[in-house]
Amino acid sequence: MFSKVYEALNWASSFLESAGREAKAGELLLMHVLNVNRTQFFMNMRDEMSNEQVEEFIAIVEKHRGGIPVQHIIGHEEFYGRQFIVNENVLIPRPETEELVLGVTKRIKQHFSKDEKLVVVDVGAGSGAISITLSLEEPRLTVYSVDISEFALKVASENAKQLDANVEFIHGDLLTPFIERQTKVDIVVSNPPYIPNDEKLSDIVVDHEPHLALFGGNDGLDFYRRFMEQLPLVLKHKALVAFEVGEGQGNAVAELLLTTFPQSTVEVQNDINGKDRMVYALIG
């Protein structure tokens, strides 16, 4: 069928495209089989592949064609320049969430004094992408991350260990653990489930990513409404709230925040694709 790297890539690209999958997936899968980085991959395009490599590559390309996410096949996804373990128990980190983290670090510098020690809670730990990245990018933060899924917390804890990040993971429902402990925090950041229950998603997402982390009620806003009940109980007088939202939800979430915190400065920010994706509230 093929024996050289470039031939394998051409085959996978057309094979996947014919099934309605992204051709670029072939590149990621081939790099995984060859155990090379992107630079090595393009330098070695004319290299011969072993029979074992060819067989493994065909098998995993067929797996992806059948609907298994590339990240589940190779076992990881890159986020903010670091590799995070992912599996069926956590959402695969997306580039839009990198923009949320960048927005949080920028606003920390704007809203708080330079030497202030701050406590941040990431609600919905997932793979730990948000909390671990914040901990590594902003060492002055004390970082907590909450998730209702113990399976997700296991993945996040493993990522924190591998990346040497100091994050405390807590099993619980939204901010309830902090309300029970009567703990006050400076920053709450969350990428909660925000997809409306009846929205059609690709089979790759629906069949292989945790529904617990995807769906947010009939209009997708259920979790934001619950946050509005809990946030006033945990935030300090001067605080920052940062949410990722679904396309078209920015203004609705901004209204919820302004109703809850009338004196706050609320901003809806578009992502790199021009979609409303982040909502920030500067309080106090």
State yes or no: 194 annotated in a binding site: yes
State yes or no: 147 annotated in a binding site: yes
High-pLDDT (> 90) share of the chain, %: 72
Order of strands across the sheet with 185-190? Answer: 167-171, 141-147, 118-123, 185-190, 235-244, 276-283, 265-270
Average pLDDT of span 43-64? 92
The SS3 of residue 195 is: strand
3 has a pLDDT exceeding 50 = yes
Average pLDDT of span 108-125? 93
Average pLDDT of span 82-110? 93
Q: What is the DSSP string of 122-183?
A: EES-TTSHHHHHHHHH-TTEEEEEEES-HHHHHHHHHHHHHHT--EEEEESSTTHHHHHHT-
Average pLDDT of span 77-97? 91
119 has a pLDDT exceeding 90 = yes
State yes or no: 172 annotated in a binding site: no
pLDDT for residue 115: 84
Inter-residue contact 228 to 259 (CB < 8 Å): yes
Average pLDDT of span 152-165? 97
172 has a pLDDT exceeding 70 = yes
State yes or no: 66 annotated in a binding site: no
State yes or no: 262 annotated in a binding site: no
Query: Comparing 66-70, 128-132, 209-213, 245-249, which segment has the lowest mean pLDDT?
Result: 209-213
State yes or no: 177 annotated in a binding site: no
State yes or no: 87 annotated in a binding site: no
pLDDT for residue 2: 84
> How would you classify the pairing of strands 141-147 and 118-123?
parallel
State yes or no: 124 annotated in a binding site: yes
Average pLDDT of span 39-68? 91
The encoded tokens of residue 7 equal 């031939």
The SS3 of residue 220 is: coil
Burial call 29-53: b when 16+ CB within 10 Å, e when fewer: bbbbbbebeeeebeeeeeeebeeeb
High-pLDDT (> 70) share of the chain, %: 91
CA dist 98 → 76, 130, 171, 197, 216 (Å): 16, 8, 24, 25, 21
The span from the CA of 96 to the CA of 17, in Å, is 24
pLDDT for residue 280: 98
Average pLDDT of span 1-18? 89
The rounded radius of gyration (Å) of the Cα atoms in the chain is: 21
State yes or no: 193 annotated in a binding site: yes
pLDDT digits (tens, 9 = 90+) for 193-239: 766 655 554 555 554 445 554 455 666 788 899 999 999 999 999 99
Instruction: Estimate the crossing angle of helix 5-18 against helix 51-65, to 10 degrees.
Output: 20
Query: Comparing 11-25, 126-140, 185-199, 203-217, which segment has the lowest mean pLDDT?
Result: 203-217
> How would you classify the pairing of strands 185-190 and 141-147?
unpaired
State yes or no: 126 annotated in a binding site: yes
pTM for this model (two decimals): 0.86
pLDDT for residue 208: 46
Inter-residue contact 138 to 105 (CB < 8 Å): yes
107 has a pLDDT exceeding 60 = yes
Q: Which helix (H) or strand (E) holds 18?
A: helix 5-18
> How would you classify the pairing of strands 265-270 and 235-244?
unpaired
The span from the CA of 20 to the CA of 17, in Å, is 5
